[in-house]
Chain A
C-alpha cells in the first residue's frame, strides 16, 4: 500500500515549533510522499487534500487533535476510497510541548503511525435509531430555557431539579446588571411557561441514580424525594404555611414566585417526623393534600439525549477565616443580600442598626492561589449593582474594594458612571482583614476593615457597619457525581469541558450529551439563557432525526484464544460486553471503541479496530526508540 502524508501548518501553531521541512526530508528519504499546507482544514486545504488521494492508498494526516477536524479528513479520505487512514495530533502532542523535543516526538509519532497503517481495518458505519425524549439536568435559568425551547418544538422533555422549586439562583436576584431592571419580571414568565408547556415533565426534588445506554437511547433512573404534599390535590393556598409552630417553619414555599406552587415539608424540622403528634398543617388543609406517609419514588425514563445544566454556587467564603463570614454579624455575601432584597427583609449592620457605611468587597477568594486561581468575570457587575442599590435604599456611604473592574457589555461603563455620580467610592486594594476589634477605640461597635488604597494616598483602615463579600463562582455541589454518572470531562476546577470552547461550546466529547449555563464556567443570566437555547438547538438537531450514523464493530473476539476470565466484561465502563453461553457478546450500540477491554485481556483474544494490539505496540516501540 502506497502511503501519502499530509502536514498542516495550522497557521503557525505547528510550524513555529516544529521544523516541518526537516520532517518532510526525513520521511521522504524513506520513500514516503509528503505534502504540506498552511491550513489543511480550510476549503482550499480540503481541496488540496482530496485531489492528492488516489483510491487504494493509505493516508496519514499530521494536524490538530482528531476531536477537532479529524472527521473532516477521514470522510474526505473515505470519499476518495483510501484504503487506510490515520491522524497524528502534531499540534497537541508535539508542537505545543515547546521547541525542545518537539521534533523527536513528532518523528516518533509519525513513523509509528506509518507502521500501524498497514494493520488498518476500517470500522463499520451503522445507523441507530434515536429515541425522541430529552433529559435536562438542572432547573435553573439555563436548564429551563433549554427545556422550554425543546418542548416548544415538540420534544418530550424531562426537567430534573434537585431542589423543591424551579428557577435556581435567578429567582433570588433582585435587580439585573446593567440596567437595574426587575429580575423577577424577566424570570417569572419563563417559570410559569414551564407549567403550561404540555411536553414538559417536571421532576422537582429529584436526582439521577443511574444512566445506562448509548446516544439516542439512554435509560435513566431517577429518584424523587418525598415532598409530603400531594401535588395533585394542593392548589397552593398557603394556609398550611401560617399554622406551623416551628421556627423557622417546617413547611415552606420559599421563593418569591414558587414553581411548582406547592409547599414542602422539611422532615428534619417537622415535629411530626420528630415523634411529636403535631399535624396542624394537615388539619388546616381543606384539600387534604398533606401526606406524611409519602416515600421516595423511582422513575425510569428512556431518552435520546441529555442536557447538563447543573449551574454554579458561590465560593464558600467561610473558608477565608480573616473575612469573618458566619462569625461576625454584619458580614454577608452578595447572594445573601440578593435574597434579603427579594424577600424585602430588613438589613442590619454589625451593631444591629441600619447600616450607615457599607463596604463591598470584590474578588473574595478569586485570583488567589489558595482559593480560586481564576477570575469569575460576572461578579464585578453584580457587586456594582448591589452597591448602587445600597446607596439608593439606605443612603449609606458605599465603598467598593476592587482589584480590576471587569464590567461586561457596553452598558457596564454607564452603570459605573451612574455609581460614581451617586457618590459610591472605589478603592483599589485587596482587603486583608475584617475584624470586630477596632484600631481606634472610638470605632468600637463597627467593623474594622484593613486594605491599602493602592491608587490613593495609601489609607489603610475603614470602619464600616456592613460588609458585602462578593465571591467567585465554583461548580455546584453534586456536579462531580453528574460528571461521573455521564462520564463527562471536567476542567481542573470542576467545570464541565466542552468539546471545543470556541466553536462547539455546548457540545461535549460524548455524542447526545450537551452542557448549558454556568456548569461549564461562570456565566451571567443572558449567557446562561443563550447557552441553554444553544444546547436545545443541538439536542433538536440530534433528536429530531429518527436515526444517526456512527462507527461500530470496534472489537473482534477470537474464541480459541480466549481463556474465559471475563476481565473484559468487568472493565467495560459502558457495560457493552456480556457473556452468553460461554461466548462473549458485544452490544454494538453501547461499545464506543475505547479499547479498555483489549488492553485488559491477558491472552490477546480481542482485536481492536482500526489498529490492533500489534500495531499499537509497534508504534510505541518506534516512539520510545526515537525519544
Chain B
C-alpha cells in the first residue's frame, strides 16, 4: 500500500520547482478542503508523520498557478475538480493483472512495424513493469509506438499492449525516464488547436517541417517541402465559431487526472 509523500517532501519538491509555500499555508489549504487530508503513520524513531497522496503535489501547483493569476481561494476551489481524485495511486496500470499473462513470446516485437526504431520490445517493458515500476529501463518504446494495434491483434494472450505503452507515455514513467517530452510539432499542434479549435493534420507536421511567423490575424504558416518545391505558404486552419467557450471547456476538460 502506498502512503504517498510526507509534508516535508512535498514542500521540498515544490521549492525545487520554484514554488514557495509555507507549512502553515499548506495545512490551511487542507483545512479549507482544497487539498486532501493526510494519513497518520507512526515512525520507527517514534512520533507521527502525515502522508499525502502523490497527486497532492500537482493539485497544489494548480492552486498556486491560479492564485498567481489573481483568483481568490474561493474561486480556485470552484475551478478545481470537485471530487478529490479516486484513491487509486496514480501510477498503477489498471490492467496489470492481464500483463502477468505475458508469455514472453516476442510476437509484439516481431510484428511491430517500427521495431527498428525501438530501444526495447514491448514485452521487455511489460516484464520490467511486473518487476516493479522502478526497474523500468529508460527506453523510447512508448514514444515510438505508432498505435497500429498489430501487436494486440497477434498477441496470443490478448494483452493490451498499446494501452500499456500509452499509459507509460502519459503517466507511468518518472520524469527522468522520459525519452522526449514535447517535440516541437506537438507544441505547434496544441497552440493551433487552442487558437482555432482546429489544427494542422499531424501528417503534414511530420512529413514536412512547419514554420509559423507572427500570431493572431498576422499569423503565416509555411511548409518546407522535400524536393525542389522548397517552401510553400499555406493557409492556417479555419476557426470554429465560439472560440472562448471552446477554450474554457478545453481547460475544464484538462482537470481530471
A and B touch in the complex (CB under 8 A): yes
Query: Could you say which residues of chain A place their CB within 8 Å of the CB of B107?
Result: 429-432, 451-452
B103 engages A403 (CB within 8 Å): yes
Q: How far is the CA of A531 from the CA of B158 in the complex (A)?
A: 36
Give the segment of B73-81, B109-117, B194-202 that binds chain A: B109-117
A451 engages B106 (CB within 8 Å): yes
Query: Could you say which residues of chain A place their CB within 8 Å of the CB of B157?
Result: 368-369
A429 engages B156 (CB within 8 Å): no
Q: How far is the CA of A453 from the CA of B103 in the complex (A)?
A: 14
Q: How far is the CA of A453 from the CA of B106 in the complex (A)?
A: 7
B156 engages A454 (CB within 8 Å): no
B106 engages A368 (CB within 8 Å): no
B156 engages A368 (CB within 8 Å): yes
Interface positions of B (Cβ within 8 A of A): 103-107, 109-111, 115, 121, 123, 154, 156-158
B121 engages A430 (CB within 8 Å): no
Quote the shortest CB–CB distance from B108 to chain A (angstroms). Answer: 8
B111 engages A454 (CB within 8 Å): no
Quote the shortest CB–CB distance from B113 to chain A (angstroms). Answer: 10
Q: How far is the CA of A447 from the CA of B158 in the complex (A)?
A: 27
Count contacts between A and B, CB distance < 8 Å: 56
Interface residue ranges of A344-373 to B (CB < 8 Å): 367-371
Some 26 contacts from A to B, beta carbons below 8 A apart, are A368-B156, A369-B157, A369-B158, A370-B156, A428-B106, A429-B105, A429-B106, A429-B107, A430-B105, A431-B107, A431-B110, A432-B110, A432-B111, A432-B154, A433-B110, A433-B154, A450-B110, A450-B111, A451-B106, A451-B110, A452-B109, A454-B104, A454-B105, A454-B121, A454-B123, A460-B110
Q: Determine which residue in B103, B105, B109 has the highest number of CB atoms from chain A within 10 A of its CB, and name it.
A: B105
Quote the shortest CB–CB distance from B137 to chain A (angstroms). Answer: 14
A403 engages B110 (CB within 8 Å): no
Interface majority SS (helix, strand, loop, mixed), chain A: loop
Query: Could you say which residues of chain B place their CB within 8 Å of the CB of A454?
Result: 104-106, 109, 121, 123
A430 with B110, Cβ < 8 A, contacts A403-B105, A458-B121 known: yes
Query: Could you say which residues of chain A place their CB within 8 Å of the CB of B106?
Result: 428-430, 451-454
A322 within 8 A of partner (CB): yes
B103 engages A367 (CB within 8 Å): yes
Q: How far is the CA of A370 from the CA of B159 in the complex (A)?
A: 12
B156 engages A458 (CB within 8 Å): no
Quote the shortest CB–CB distance from A401 to chain B (angstroms). Answer: 10
Quote the shortest CB–CB distance from B143 to chain A (angstroms). Answer: 19
Quote the shortest CB–CB distance from A462 to chain B (angstroms). Answer: 11
A322 engages B154 (CB within 8 Å): yes
Quote the shortest CB–CB distance from B116 to chain A (angstroms). Answer: 8
Quote the shortest CB–CB distance from B153 to chain A (angstroms). Answer: 9
B105 engages A460 (CB within 8 Å): no
Query: Could you say which residues of chain A place their CB within 8 Å of the CB of B123?
Result: 454
Shortest 10 CB-CB contacts between residues of A and residues of B: A452-B106, A430-B105, A368-B156, A432-B110, A432-B111, A429-B106, A452-B109, A454-B106, A430-B107, A452-B110
Closest chain B residue to A427, Cβ basis:
B106
Quote the shortest CB–CB distance from B181 to chain A (angstroms). Answer: 27
Q: How far is the CA of A367 from the CA of B154 in the complex (A)?
A: 13
**Known interface pairs A429-B107, A430-B106, A433-B111; 12 further A-B residue pairs with C-beta atoms within 8 A, sorted by A's residue number:** A322-B154, A367-B103, A370-B156, A370-B158, A428-B106, A433-B110, A451-B107, A452-B107, A452-B109, A454-B105, A458-B109, A460-B109
A429 with B103, Cβ < 8 A, contacts A369-B156, A458-B121 known: no
Interface residue ranges of A496-513 to B (CB < 8 Å): none
Q: How far is the CA of A453 from the CA of B115 in the complex (A)?
A: 13
Quote the shortest CB–CB distance from A429 to chain B (angstroms). Answer: 4
Query: Could you say which residues of chain B place their CB within 8 Å of the CB of A369?
Result: 156-158
